[in-house]
Amino acid sequence: MKKNNLLLFVMVMLLASCTPQGPKWQELFNGENLDGWEILNGTAEYKVEDGTIVGISRLNTPNTFLATQEHYGDFILEFEFKVEDGLNSGVQFRSNSLKEYRDGRVHGYQFEIDPSDRAWTGGIYDESRRGWIYPLNYNPEGQKAFKHEEWNKARIEAIGSSIRTWLNDVPCAELLDNTTASGFIALQVHGINNAELAGKTVAWRNIRMLTEEVEKYRTPDNPEVKQINQIANTISEREAAEGWKLLWDGKSSEGWRGAKLDAFPDKGWSMEDGILKVHKSDGGESTNGGDIVTTRSYRNFMLTVDFRITKGANSGIKYFVDTNLNKGEGSAIGCEFQILDDKNHPDAELGKDGNRKLGSLYDLIPAPADKPFRNGFFNTAMVVVEGNHVEHWLNGVKIVEYERNNEEWNQLVQTSKYKDWPNFGNAEEGLILLQDHGDEVWFQNIKIKEL
């Protein structure tokens, strides 16, 4: 009998050792106190109440963060949250507070908590750096997942350069970015200056982290969710499958020439560390190295260009360009996505109704004043052309839309500086141009998808 019991015990132990073990979650919050966490930047209040962390908004204090003392690289993070309407919040990840960066200002990726009508909860914001890098207008289904003033379940998978989010099991963001590899987790109480919002709360519970075997527990890819690739001068597998190609390879002049030259300019432009720069000169239009254009024409396409302007800079991205139209002084002729420092360049005050400001169809259609510009960082311009329909986008937000090859368009052109150029903007195809306007501007991540 004893032998049978011993045999049974051995069999049970062997079976247990062979049974697959589940993910080894670690709790970041013990449900009782804030051990392992610290408050950074602001003075909003955090307290533990009924097994939850409650953040309480306070008037006239900066964004306040309750941060883990531990830093994390690759992980899967899950948590639940509930926020009162009117109060914006978020959860930082791979974030840092460094003395050398804005005197300790918390910066890094943020899972957005947004109960407003905009409905961007689950989008990815780059706190105190680039701003929105995955606004949730990219994912209308994700925008529907938020539950007002109820508990919501969130999931973040940050594995290598892949960052993905879920809200109530609905996929939200799909981002490729390699800006920051590790950092702390932090719960945000957003700064407020409206007394009616003082005392409003956001709460978190069931905060758990997986750092072991994360690839094993990674959620399968969902091709229905739009992927944004922020890694400069690369084409992801998804982008390649969708037909995207690099229009600039990040290192050479292949595929480009001077607008009034047979080759690439021998001055005025440089390529270094994956950045294409037009150099500062006299501020004149095409007076140094001159504009550069693609060596082939494009008809229907989606074009994206990351650009960064220096103070007071002027430049542009042109399309439907015909370099035979203007062989004299000045820039080549084409429709232009304006690149401008609106605050410090005098051209912003010229034209009509702001139609020479950043993102505008230059001298024709103004971009809105509240466009999502990232001062001091790279911004993503996108131009979409489908036949006669054209759109300008900035950092994921559509800012200009128009139809060409019609009477309304032709009348608009007649009120602009282009009135003397025959059939302006109506060509079926044209070159793509980056402008030398005598100011230093940086470009990277130039991609095109033909439609």
pLDDT for 308-365, tens place per residue? 999 999 999 999 999 998 877 889 999 999 999 999 999 999 999 999 999 999 999 9
For residue 246, what is the domain's CATH number? Answer: 2.60.120.560
What confidence tens digit (pLDDT) does each residue in 111-152 have? 999 999 999 999 999 999 988 999 999 999 999 999 999 999
Asked if residue 254 and residue 116 are part of one domain, the reply reads no
pLDDT score at 327: 79
Two tokens, residue 287: 């007076």
Asked if residue 279 and residue 213 are part of one domain, the reply reads no
Strands 441-450 and 301-309: antiparallel
Domain containing residue 68: 26-229
Asked if residue 302 and residue 420 are part of one domain, the reply reads yes
**177 has pLDDT over 70:** yes
Phi, psi at 113, each rounded to 5° = -120, 110
Last-in-domain residue among 165, 194, 229: 229
- Cβ 305 vs Cβ 446: under 8 Å: yes
**82 has pLDDT over 90:** yes
Last-in-domain residue among 173, 196, 229: 229
Asked if residue 155 and residue 84 are part of one domain, the reply reads yes
Asked if residue 391 and residue 358 are part of one domain, the reply reads yes
Instruction: Note the pTM of the prediction, 2 decimals.
Output: 0.88
Q: How many CA atoms lie within 13 A of 54 on its CB side?
A: 11
Which residues, 6+ apart, have CB-to-CB distance to 177 below 8 Å?
109, 133, 161, 163, 230, 231
Which residues, 6+ apart, have CB-to-CB distance to 100 below 8 Å?
none
Asked if residue 224 and residue 294 are part of one domain, the reply reads no
Percentage of the chain lying above the pLDDT 90 cut: 91
Asked if residue 296 and residue 209 are part of one domain, the reply reads no
Flag whether 123 is in a domain.
yes
Asked if residue 133 and residue 38 are part of one domain, the reply reads yes
SS3 assignment, position 417 = coil
Flag whether 15 is in a domain.
no
SS3 assignment, position 10 = helix
Q: What is the 3-state secondary structure (H, E, C) of 144-182?
A: CCCCCCCCEEEEEEEECCEEEEEECCEEEEEEECCCCCC
- Among residues 189, 146, 165, 181, the alpha carbon closest in space to that of 71 is found at 181
pLDDT score at 12: 52
Q: How confident is the model at residue 103 (pLDDT cuts 50, 70, 90)?
A: very high
Q: What is the mean pLDDT of residues 49-60?
A: 96
Q: What is the number of domains present in the chain?
A: 2
pLDDT score at 311: 96
What is the Cα–Cα distance from 260 to 257, expressed in whole angstroms? 8
Asked if residue 160 and residue 112 are part of one domain, the reply reads yes
